[in-house]
Structure 1
Amino acid sequence: MESLITRYKIYHGSVILPNGILPVGTVLVENGKIVEIAEGELDFPGAIEINAAGNFISPGFIDIHLHGGGGHDFMDGTVEAFLEIAKTHARFGTTAMLPTTLTSEKEDLILTLEAYQKAHASHTEGASFLGMHLEGPYFALSQRGAQDPKYIRNPDPAEYTDLLENYNCIRRWSAAPELPGALEFADYARKKGVLVALAHTDAICEEVETAFQHGYSLATHFYSAMSGVTRKNAFRYAGAVEAGYLIDEMDVEIIADGVHLPSSLLRLIHKIKGTSKIALITDAMRAAGQDTDHSVLGHKDKGLAVIVEDGVAKLPDRSAFAGSIATTNRLVRTMLQMTDIALEDIIQMISLVPARILQVDQQKGSLSRNKDADILIFDKDINIQMTMVNGRIIYDPNHSL
């Protein structure tokens, strides 16, 4: 943790770029920014030298949908929870994140938003915060998944206008677009610069197409808690999943933990949507980064009890998944093992694409000159060897750098 060092030379590694991989390259960092990327080895007088030892040098991973990790949940509403989650996920390659809420009372949302603002102001160690993501409470009860049904409700103008007026840290809001008032909600949120996503929805395709025109530009955890083809009175109707495919401009995010979606669907989504429209997310809950078989989804005292088995969190009756326990390096590993997608494309889906979705791709998301020095070193099995955030080494498991 060398806070006074302003120059780093990261060399002798395979440098992952958006358009390919440099087999042996160097990345130079100065004052928290990338100043050069080149093949071979470069001189950089006065720099601390980091030998990647033939491993991969990669842009940091950006997770735009996660709830917790390391035994904490953002809904705990404490600064400690935010900071510990950021540190936990940085160990696994996350350099920037969008902390995410669960469906709850307005008072609990405010508590979490207040904690975010305090944590953001004091944050120095761990993944950086890019704003808050409110997941709910405006959902279809029939697609609630593990969201607590007692908090689910229709969009309330008094509620969402108050929150959006008073908390400019809200960067994204996920809702079901077919609900009464959901289009007006989206119109207002977009005026406030908030990314609107469709989630936990029973909408048919035509409803999603209309919603897209009102700003619902991202499909939250694609396939999960989302309508597909249905039949009503013998007629078939395409659902939200089909709309996600048909609307070329719509982005989709996927929980690529190897459990929420099988190999066949991972390959299908990529075949239709392509690398540039897919963001990999963990949707991680508090058990991520822990060795445990029981946990709590949401607030530590008021949340839902869950079990952890088969590499995922589940409701105790096993009727639904309750968020993942994945870390971002697991997502990359899963995509490599379960698809034939090239590594550089997988890295795009967990770096440049989420950065573009959040409109921070001029600062983050790739190893490019003048961008933030959010940099990873990992081995062929995607085990993290170093995490750098804004030019600061915040994780070095071998203490060798």
Structure 2
Amino acid sequence: MNNRIIIKNGKVIFPDRIEENLAIVCENGKIIDIVSTEAVVFGNEDMVIDAQNKYVSSGFIDIHTHGGGGHDFMDGTVEAYLGAAEMHAKHGTTALLPTTLTSTFEELLKTFATYKEAVKQNNKGALFLGLHLEGPYFAYNQRGAQDPKYLRNPEPEEYNKILEASDDIVRWSLAPELPGALEFGKVLAEKNILTSIAHSDAIYEEVVDAYNAGFNHITHLYSAMSTVTRRNAFRYAGIVEAAYLIDNMNVEIIADGVHLPKSLLQFVYKFKGPDKTALVTDSMRGAGMPDGESILGSLDKGQKVIIEDGVAKLPDRTAFAGSVATTDRLVRTMVNIAEVPLVEAVKMITLTPARMMKIDQQKGSIQKGKDADFVIFDNNINVSYTILEGNVIYRN
């Protein structure tokens, strides 16, 4: 692509401010200049996008999603990957981490092969940043909607085979208190794979040990994890408390307005802040779909769930079974419900997750030299354009 793309007449959201009367000039998928509108010389071959006084943000980055639009990444088909990526692009997502569920070893191998093929064919949806394995190394009591029959402890014989089978794994979520988990965490850290605490009954002291072993992230804070507990009458702090006590521990929250109420959204924002908190959808196939019955996980081996009240639930309604959120809804929730400034809400879905995944040199903010990834949206975060590396992948 050689023609320039120029975005004008927008309220441009930077990590620390909003500016108007700017033109963002892009070429070959990169931002090559950010100047005042008056300073731009428009060429006949330029593609000019008039933002019409709407907001222009860096593209939204979702580092934890299981699917959407009727598709789950565990379906094991290229169509599922592409369908989910296209649905999320319509809501402002320019990059995402396809996320697995607890499953058999064979299902994981199939997922790895499917992912590679999907990467080759993906030209209409959000960019795939690599795979996020959620499980199967979880605590039974904190399994949430994860299928208990696949839960197990991390054994080198198995996880080394998994790591050898795919070079696309960039994140892994597991319970650090399980036998062998700390050793596994060190292996992941050596491979620069983001190692995250999830579905865990760990107490504070175990979280500290995990942090020292390379676990520097907490998956969906407050969901499927320990808080203050008693053992032999003595109280112990849990993962929730450790998230705040360990200053450099990163967290993510499902900001759909259902998993966490306003008070907890505000609590996380106040005490972890926008630089240590990423917004994630943790969406299942029901994202972007109507209410009713659905399936969490693969079509043939997944669990039946019910979508109602803006969330997916287990059929007996004892637990949530993943969200049906999209990234625009996350931002809308943080602004309208949690009353977080727009600049910081956007940072939590752009630059902060980019830093966590160590791609902030290329993505996550509007800056000269970075990828031309943008979302244009109105005051209620309704998306008009999604642009990935200079290509318009969605226009409303």
The reply to whether TM is greater than 0.5 is yes
Deviations 1:28-82 (A, max 9, x none): 1111001112344432423111110010011000000000101000000111111
Report the count of equivalent residues: 394
Moved more, 230-239 or 172-181: 230-239
SS across alignment from 2:162: helix
What corresponds to 2:268 in structure 1?
Answer: 269
Letter in 1 for 2:228: V
Moved more, 32-41 or 328-337: 32-41
Structure 1: distance between partners of 2:41 and 2:232? 72
Structure 1: distance between partners of 2:233 and 2:88? 48
Structure 2: distance between partners of 1:83 and 1:257? 23
What corresponds to 2:164 in structure 1?
Answer: 165
What corresponds to 2:153 in structure 1?
Answer: 154
Structure 2: distance between partners of 1:307 and 1:6? 47
Within the alignment, does 1:247 sit opposite 2:246 as a pair? Answer: yes
What corresponds to 1:227 in structure 2?
Answer: 226
What corresponds to 1:372 in structure 2?
Answer: 371
Indicate conservation of the 8 Å contact 1:218/1:251, yes or no.
yes
Structure 2: distance between partners of 1:201 and 1:37? 45
What corresponds to 1:43 in structure 2?
Answer: 41
After TM superposition, give the deviation of residue 233 of structure 1 in Å: 2.3
What corresponds to 2:144 in structure 1?
Answer: 145
Structure 2: distance between partners of 1:43 and 1:151? 60
What corresponds to 2:176 in structure 1?
Answer: 177
Correspondence 1:47-62 to 2 at 5 A: 47-62=46-61
What corresponds to 2:72 in structure 1?
Answer: 73
Correspondence 1:96-107 to 2 at 5 A: 96-107=95-106
Letter in 1 for 2:255: A
Within the alignment, does 1:17 sit opposite 2:14 as a pair? Answer: yes
Structure 2: distance between partners of 1:5 and 1:300? 42
Structure 2: distance between partners of 1:43 and 1:142? 62
SS across alignment from 1:285: coil
Structure 2: distance between partners of 1:152 and 1:13? 49
What corresponds to 1:318 in structure 2?
Answer: 317
Structure 2: distance between partners of 1:364 and 1:277? 17
Indicate conservation of the 8 Å contact 1:15/1:26, yes or no.
no
Structure 2: distance between partners of 1:268 and 1:97? 26
Indicate conservation of the 8 Å contact 2:196/2:219, yes or no.
yes
Moved more, 188-197 or 249-258: 188-197
After TM superposition, give the deviation of residue 8 of structure 1 in Å: 0.8
Indicate conservation of the 8 Å contact 1:15/1:25, yes or no.
yes
Q: Tell me the TM-score normalised to structure 2 length.
A: 0.98
Structure 1: distance between partners of 2:299 and 2:104? 15
Structure 1: distance between partners of 2:242 and 2:36? 43
Letter in 2 for 1:174: S
Deviations 1:180-203 (A, max 9, x none): 000011111122221100000000
SS across alignment from 2:107: helix
Letter in 2 for 1:99: P
After TM superposition, give the deviation of residue 340 of structure 1 in Å: 2.5
Structure 2: distance between partners of 1:330 and 1:202? 30
Structure 1: distance between partners of 2:174 and 2:378? 38
Structure 1: distance between partners of 2:159 and 2:26? 42
Moved more, 186-195 or 352-361: 186-195
After TM superposition, give the deviation of residue 235 of structure 1 in Å: 1.2
Unaligned runs of 5+ in 2: none
Structure 1: distance between partners of 2:33 and 2:289? 37
After TM superposition, give the deviation of residue 166 of structure 1 in Å: 2.5
After TM superposition, give the deviation of residue 5 of structure 1 in Å: 5.8
After TM superposition, give the deviation of residue 234 of structure 1 in Å: 2.0
Letter in 2 for 1:10: I
After TM superposition, give the deviation of residue 23 of structure 1 in Å: 2.8
Deviations 1:156-212 (A, max 9, x none): 211110111221100000000000000011111122221100000000000000100
Letter in 1 for 2:98: P
Structure 1: distance between partners of 2:392 and 2:162? 35
Structure 2: distance between partners of 1:300 and 1:33? 39
Structure 2: distance between partners of 1:106 and 1:348? 36
Letter in 2 for 1:363: Q
Letter in 2 for 1:286: R
SS across alignment from 1:300: coil
What corresponds to 1:237 in structure 2?
Answer: 236
After TM superposition, give the deviation of residue 334 of structure 1 in Å: 0.3
Structure 2: distance between partners of 1:58 and 1:89? 16
What corresponds to 1:31 in structure 2?
Answer: 28
Structure 2: distance between partners of 1:102 and 1:186? 19
Letter in 1 for 2:125: G
Structure 2: distance between partners of 1:18 and 1:39? 19
Indicate conservation of the 8 Å contact 1:74/1:99, yes or no.
yes
Q: Report the aligned-residue RMSD.
A: 1.0
Structure 2: distance between partners of 1:339 and 1:390? 31
SS across alignment from 1:305: strand
SS across alignment from 1:332: helix
Correspondence 1:69-218 to 2 at 5 A: 69-218=68-217
Letter in 1 for 2:41: D
What corresponds to 2:390 in structure 1?
Answer: 391
Indicate conservation of the 8 Å contact 2:55/2:376, yes or no.
yes
Structure 1: distance between partners of 2:181 and 2:352? 26
